[in-house]
């Protein structure tokens, strides 16, 4: 499978086809073309939630490339995100993120760290999160990573909603998530990101209650449709788990 074919599948969110179509053991990380393919395969495993496959590849590529190179920066982002998702290891992820030069990729990584920290009960700096979101929105024209920063920043503020300093932003979270979804639509971002953002939007609107409940139900229905499509085409425990969560929320909102 050529890298161009992989990139075309990646743009469509067809990660299972990528990992099934490449024999990783036949690739040589010392070969420039092979390591570009390895990097894309590692990200495909990451998107499927198969971190046991993605993290070792990211670690090898991290060791071979400086953080200011395209491969080195991407491998570090993937490794740090994987450590967060698999282990919730904020300190290890932070160490890796600090190797990456300042920029949107690092900002998005920090927003993911804020989500994990808030879920673990750690106080986060809501003002910094909001400043990062606003700073990202100044960087037009937008790429998918700007949508990720907004999406993950909003989710961090939602997860920290029990903090009084975070709760003051609650009223603007649905609008910001709508912006993230708009960026995903315009940049044709892969469906798994859209499905996840729709689910998060449903959670946020449901938490606000009142007139927001109809919006919450609409977002939940959309999320379910996307996840069903992804489970049918890609499989994987991560997608199945996400579909189950979305369906549970949809059922609760439509009672």
- CA 135 – CA 129 distance, rounded (Å): 10
Structure token pair of residue 11 = 């743009």
Of 179, 208, 233, which residue constitutes the final position of a domain?
A: 179
Number of domains in the chain: 3
Give me the pLDDT at residue 6, please. Answer: 85
Q: Which DSSP category does 102 fall into?
A: S
- Tell me, yes or no, whether 143 and 106 share the same domain: yes
Residue 29 DSSP SS3? coil
- Tell me, yes or no, whether 47 and 123 share the same domain: no
Let me know: does 157 contact 173? Beta carbons within 8 Å. yes
- Tell me, yes or no, whether 84 and 18 share the same domain: yes
Mean pLDDT across 80-95:
92
- Tell me, yes or no, whether 110 and 95 share the same domain: no
Domain that holds residue 249: 190-255
| Tens-digit pLDDT profile for residues 21-62 | 887 766 766 777 778 888 989 999 998 889 999 999 999 999
Give me the pLDDT at residue 234, please. Answer: 84
Let me know: does 47 contact 190? Beta carbons within 8 Å. yes
Structure token pair of residue 26 = 């036949």
Task: Name the percent of the chain lying above pLDDT 70.
Answer: 98
Who wins on pLDDT, 76 or 14? 76
Q: Is residue 185 part of a domain?
A: no
Residue 254 pLDDT more than 80?
A: yes
Of 37, 70, 101, which residue constitutes the final position of a domain?
A: 101
The reported pTM is 0.88
Which among 204, 208, 207 is positioned nearest to 179, based on CA atoms?
204
Q: Is residue 166 part of a domain?
A: yes
Give phi and psi for 69, each to the nearest 5.
-100, 160
- Tell me, yes or no, whether 1 and 62 share the same domain: yes
User: Per-residue DSSP letters for 60-92?
Assistant: HHHHHS-TTSHHHHHHHHHHHHHHHHHH--HHH
Which of these ranges, 2-16, 70-84, 144-158, 161-175, has the smallest mean pLDDT? 2-16
- Tell me, yes or no, whether 171 and 194 share the same domain: no
Residue 114 pLDDT more than 80?
A: yes
| Tens-digit pLDDT profile for residues 134-168 | 999 999 899 999 999 999 999 999 999 999 999 99
Give me the pLDDT at residue 11, please. Answer: 79
Work out the mean pLDDT of the chain and round it to a whole number. 92
Give me the pLDDT at residue 216, please. Answer: 98
- Tell me, yes or no, whether 9 and 92 share the same domain: yes
Task: Name the percent of the chain lying above pLDDT 90.
Answer: 75
Maximum CA extent, the chain: 58
**Size of the chain, expressed as the number of residues it contains:** 255
- Tell me, yes or no, whether 75 and 90 share the same domain: yes
Of 67, 101, 135, which residue constitutes the final position of a domain?
A: 101
Residue 177 pLDDT more than 90?
A: yes
User: Per-residue DSSP letters for 177-233?
Assistant: HHHHHHHHHHTT--HHHHHHHHHHHHHHHHHH-TTHHHHHHHHHHHHHHHHHHHHHH
Radius of gyration of the chain from its Cα atoms, rounded to whole angstroms = 18
Q: Is residue 42 part of a domain?
A: yes
Q: Is residue 184 part of a domain?
A: no
Give me the pLDDT at residue 17, please. Answer: 87
Q: Is residue 206 part of a domain?
A: yes
| Tens-digit pLDDT profile for residues 207-244 | 999 999 999 999 999 999 999 999 998 887 889 999 99
- Tell me, yes or no, whether 109 and 94 share the same domain: no
Q: Is residue 226 part of a domain?
A: yes
Structure token pair of residue 62 = 């991290």
């Amino acid at each position: 499978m050529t890298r161009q074919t992989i990139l075309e599948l990646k743009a469509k969110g067809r990660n299972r086809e990528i990992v099934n179509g490449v024999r990783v053991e036949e690739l040589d990380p010392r070969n420039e073309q092979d390591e570009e393919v390895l990097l894309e395969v590692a990200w495909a495993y990451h998107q499927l939630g198969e971190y046991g496959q993605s993290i070792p590849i990211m670690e090898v590529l991290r060791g071979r490339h400086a953080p200011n190179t395209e491969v080195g920066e991407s491998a570090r982002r993937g490794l740090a995100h994987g450590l967060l998702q698999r282990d919730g290891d904020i300190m290890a992820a932070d160490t890796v993120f600090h190797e990456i030069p300042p920029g949107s990729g690092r900002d998005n990584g920090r927003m993911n760290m804020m989500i994990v920290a808030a879920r673990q009960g750690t106080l986060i700096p809501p003002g910094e999160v909001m400043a990062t979101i606003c700073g990202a929105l100044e960087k037009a024209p937008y790429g998918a990573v700007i949508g990720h920063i907004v999406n993950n920043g909003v989710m961090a503020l939602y997860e920290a909603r029990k903090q009084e300093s975070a709760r003051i932003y609650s009223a603007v979270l649905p609008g910001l998530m709508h912006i993230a979804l708009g960026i995903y639509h315009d940049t044709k971002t892969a469906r798994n990101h859209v499905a996840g953002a729709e689910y998060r939007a449903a959670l946020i609107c449901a938490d606000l209650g009142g007139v927001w409940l109809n919006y919450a139900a609409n977002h939940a229905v959309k999320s379910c449709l996307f996840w069903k499509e992804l489970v049918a085409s890609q499989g994987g425990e991560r997608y199945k788990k996400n579909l189950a969560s979305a369906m549970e929320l949809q059922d609760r909102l439509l009672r």
